[in-house]
Amino acid sequence: MIEGVSAVGAASANIRSPQSAAAPTEGMSFDQALTQMIGSAVDTLQSGEALAIQGVQGSAAPMKVVESVMAAQRSLQTVLAIRDKAVAAYQEIARMTI
């Protein structure tokens, strides 16, 4: 599962729109923000998975395992919500008449 999210993050880093070719005037561009958010979510999921494995082996404190798994769950829910919004926007654009 994490490999799939990593692939999405790598693919989004390679996507460039015509407007992203221009230098942004200030702040971070949308694709940079999305890439950073996906990278952060992947890191959170990987650390949650690693701590869950350590918890099963008995080498991590149960409270740390719970905190890590809950953070991973929040990150996954955020990524899924963003994906759902992107799919809904694409479907709405596809329904538009020309």
Give residue limits of the domains in the chain.
Answer: 31-98
* pLDDT tens figures, 25-82: 678 888 898 889 889 999 999 999 999 999 999 999 999 999 999 999 999 999 999 9
pTM, whole model, 2 decimals? 0.62
Q: What CA–CA distance (Å, rounded) separates 38 from 80?
A: 11
Q: What CA–CA distance (Å, rounded) separates 65 from 47?
A: 10
* pLDDT tens figures, 4-31: 545 555 555 555 445 555 555 678 888 8
